[in-house]
């Protein structure tokens, strides 16, 4: 019996055969857990710099996460193999949760009366800020694992040997 995964399923959201979603995910995966690190350093030192860094990391993680999600949703909705695996649902729904936690984290940091006022970037980490950063980082570990399962085990978004493009096979 032939292995149903012998050939990959190319991404439908791609440029020149290269999937866009995996090009974008390193940004939120770096920014959001880095906010946890800067939150911890702020708690240890009390230095405003680290609270401001955390704020910008959460904001950058949220913006780049939403951008990556747009292309992830396109692939999820158009590639049946992604929807037919538990890993696909864990990846998709878990990343929605991670972005929701990031939104809550950002709103809490900005605080009432100063939301969307760029001249009032917070200089402290709210009590729940560190917990939200930690929860986001944990969720991203799980969703990153599930995304890896989709790519490496189930070959979702992977160009198979019959779909060479660009430098492939040279």
Q: How far apart are CA 124 and CA 54, in angstroms?
A: 9
* Helices and strands: H and E segment counts in the chain: 6, 2
Overall pTM > 0.95: no
Q: How far apart are CA 134 and CA 122, in angstroms?
A: 19
pLDDT in tens, 87-143: 899 999 999 999 999 999 998 887 666 555 556 676 778 889 999 999 999 999 999
């Amino acid at each position: 019996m032939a292995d149903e995964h012998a050939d990959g399923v190319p991404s439908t959201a791609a440029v020149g055969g290269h999937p866009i979603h995996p090009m974008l995910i390193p940004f939120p995966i770096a920014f959001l857990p880095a906010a946890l690190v800067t939150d911890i350093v702020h708690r240890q030192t009390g230095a405003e710099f680290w609270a401001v860094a955390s704020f910008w990391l959460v904001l950058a993680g949220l913006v780049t996460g939403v951008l990556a999600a747009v292309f992830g949703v396109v692939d999820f909705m158009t590639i049946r193999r992604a929807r037919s695996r538990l890993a696909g649902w864990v990846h998709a729904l878990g990343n929605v949760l991670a972005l929701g936690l990031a939104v809550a984290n950002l709103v809490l940091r900005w605080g009432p009366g100063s939301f969307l006022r760029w001249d009032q970037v917070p200089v402290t980490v709210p009590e729940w800020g560190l917990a939200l950063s930690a929860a986001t980082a944990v969720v991203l570990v799980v969703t990153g694992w599930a995304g890896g399962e989709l790519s490496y085990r189930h070959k979702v978004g992977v160009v198979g040997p019959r779909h060479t493009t660009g430098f492939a096979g040279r």
